[in-house]
Structure 1
Amino acid sequence: MRFINLIVVHCSATRCDRSYTEHDLTTDHLCRGFSGAGYHYYIRKNGDIKSLRPVESPGAHARGYNANSIGICYEGGLDEHGRAADTRTPFQKHSLRVLVMLLLRDYPGSCVCGHRDLSPDLNHNGEVEPEEWIKECPCFDAATILQEVPPPNPAYL
């Protein structure tokens, strides 16, 4: 078993008004030369969590961090006009929260971050600030997932 100390949250960078299945994601990654989907988990708009890559295998989602991380991607991340936005549905918020809680139980002490937070600290002040982000993904502060107010139970919406 590999050593895990980082859980990295991504968005698929697809428009919220369009469907982007786990098959679409895997096909796109294969076309880019990957051996399969680069993420370990994919969360669809309806909250379904799809397992795409065994956790025992390094991902292909965050260059320089894949060896010790688990990659989670949620469907969306762009609004209907193609602009970066937190497009998570209540179902996705719920599933992401539960998945992160379970992974932290399996890998205690791991840090949770967004892909954007792994951008280089260009001004060397010890903090990666918004103007330094290579990309905005996942369009929200992933480190605070467990501090967010839990969304309403989707089963009762």
Structure 2
Amino acid sequence: MKITQLVVHCADTPNDRDVTAEDIHQWHIQRKWAGIGYHRVIRRNGVIEQGRPEYWEGAHVKGYNSTTLGVCLIGRDQFTDAQMQSLERVLQEWKAKYPNAEVCGHRDLDPHKTCPNFDVKGWWAKVKGNRYENA
């Protein structure tokens, strides 16, 4: 599978509600989908949970699933420091495997979406810049 983009999502659940990968898996099955569409889920406390295996095409960005991996932050628009640290870890891990893949938000691939409700490209540029400055 040729991965060209690493896509950040949010669950669009209340910011104070903890949700698991298993919860999302059940919601997606109820919609008659083949289970959870994301490859990773990051809970409110920063715990990273496995979604679909990376070798299994995701179901998270219409028209892009065959060339993307998806990570979902639990919440709507206020993510915890622990979540953001875990997001950085997941993306670093994926970038090591897929160095040419672009980091982006769902909204960058679908203009009808606001998910994940922050500028992923801008955030990632700052993360990368800080990492090199502090190295």
TM-score (norm 1): 0.77
Cα pair 1:97 1:145 within 8 Å, conserved: no
TM superposition shift of 1:148 = 3.2
Gaps of 5+ in 2: 129-135
TM superposition shift of 1:147 = 2.8
Paired with 2:108 and 2:113, the residues of 1 have a C-alpha distance of 9
Give the count of matched residue pairs. 128
Structure 1 residue corresponding to 2:124, chosen from 118, 133, 146: 146
TM superposition shift of 1:149 = 5.3
Structure 2 residue corresponding to 1:112, chosen from 103, 120, 127: 103
Paired with 2:13 and 2:74, the residues of 1 have a C-alpha distance of 7
Paired with 2:84 and 2:126, the residues of 1 have a C-alpha distance of 9
1:53 matched to 2:31: no
What is residue 4 of structure 1 aligned with on the other side?
3
Q: CA RMSD in A?
A: 1.4
> Aligned with 2:22: secondary structure?
helix
What is residue 19 of structure 2 aligned with on the other side?
20
> Aligned with 1:105: secondary structure?
helix
Gaps of 5+ in 1: 78-84, 120-132, 151-157
TM superposition shift of 1:101 = 1.1
1:92 matched to 2:83: yes
- Higher-Rg structure is 1
> Aligned with 2:16: secondary structure?
coil
> Aligned with 2:17: secondary structure?
coil
What is residue 66 of structure 2 aligned with on the other side?
67
